Amino acid sequence: MKKSFSVSTWLLPAVSGLIFIGLWYSVRVVSGLQSWILPTPGEIMAAAVHEHTRLLAAAGHTALGALGGFLLAAILGFFTSLLLGLSKSLRASLYPWLLMLQMTPVIVLTPIIMLWAGPGMPGIITITWLISYFPIVANLTQGLLSTDMNHVALFRMCNANRWQEVLLLRVPAALPYYLAGLRIAATLAPIGAIFGEYMVGNASGGTGGLGFLVYSYNTQIKIPALFATALTSCLLGFVFVAAVAWLNWALLHKWHDSFERADH
């Protein structure tokens, strides 16, 4: 049982990855494309090593913007959902506008954000917040509305006040929903930050984020370095998702049905 588990989780992706890299090399050889159009994985790794100081600094910069926007979305999303989940009239009055904000493509809002928040970190954080806010609100609001009616009756029978009902019942019951929202937001936050850097970022003090590097490498036609930037962005995304997956595990594994029952 355990063996087949590790075979399917490690060996199979490794084999398919190797096949993919092999195909990549053969396409390059057969097609005769040049390095600046289709660099080989080896050339990309070489570029990554060569550019590693710039890539790491840029990744740190992007991580900061992504984290800022993500935390802002997590905090504002929590309180927005409380308002929406606990008051029917607030929900009716605010939800359509939130939906409208979500439906407006961020790319259209970017010049406005740049005008208001200015270029650099404030603008990047705003864009990241915008892109990761809605999934959190949608999920947590749903969670706050899904409280078991028998649990509510139990609290009423104990003469619980409104605050006790919210803090000791509705919020903990909605926690899995909140974490599901955070997980989606974690995949979006680095994308939002990189997009923001590409659109409104600048290299203040010689450091820009990964989005700025994309712009910079592209204009210099450093294509292997561009691929290396893509790889770095991907790794950054994994770090974000892994952090939320860990949080999810830490908060839920003891009691929630989404984790395997502990044996005794």
Partner 1 sequence: METVPPIVKFTSLQKRYGVGPVILDAINLTVAPHDFISFIGPSGCGKSTILKLVSGLSPGSTGELTVMGVKPREARDRQAFIFQDATLLPWLTAQLNVELPLRLRGRPEAERQTIARKMLELVGLAKVADYYPRQLSGGMKMRVSIARALTLAPQLLLLDEPFGALDEMTRNRLNEELLAVRAVAPFTALFVTHSVSEAVFLSNRIVVMAANPGSLHAEVAIDFPYPRRPELRGHPDFQAKVNEVTRLLHEVEIPPSS
Residues that bind partner 1 (CB under 8 A): 148, 150-151, 153-160, 164, 168-169, 172-173, 175, 254-257, 261-262, 264
Give the whole-angstrom CA distance, residue 125 versus residue 110.
12
Q: Report the residue number, 117 or 251, with the smaller CB distance to partner 1.
A: 251
Cα-based distances in Å from 91 to 83, 84, 87, 125, 176: 7, 4, 6, 26, 21
Q: What phi, psi does 228 have (nearest 5°)?
A: -65, -35
Q: Angle at Cα 233 formed by Cα 26 and Cα 214, nearest 5°?
A: 85
Strands (E), 75-129: none
Q: Report the residue number, 109 or 173, with the smaller CB distance to partner 1.
A: 173
Q: Report the residue number, 89 or 150, with the smaller CB distance to partner 1.
A: 150
> CB of residue 164 vs partner 1: minimum separation in angstroms?
6
> CB of residue 60 vs partner 1: minimum separation in angstroms?
36
> CB of residue 34 vs partner 1: minimum separation in angstroms?
59
> CB of residue 253 vs partner 1: minimum separation in angstroms?
10
> CB of residue 260 vs partner 1: minimum separation in angstroms?
10
Q: Report the residue number, 26 or 258, with the smaller CB distance to partner 1.
A: 258
Q: How many helices (H) and strands (E) does the chain have?
A: 12, 0
Query: Which 8-state DSSP code applies to residue 260?
Result: P
Contact (CB, 8 A) for 209 and 65: yes
Q: Report the residue number, 182 or 199, with the smaller CB distance to partner 1.
A: 182
- Residue 13's Cβ-count burial label (10 Å; 0-12, 13-18, 19+) is exposed
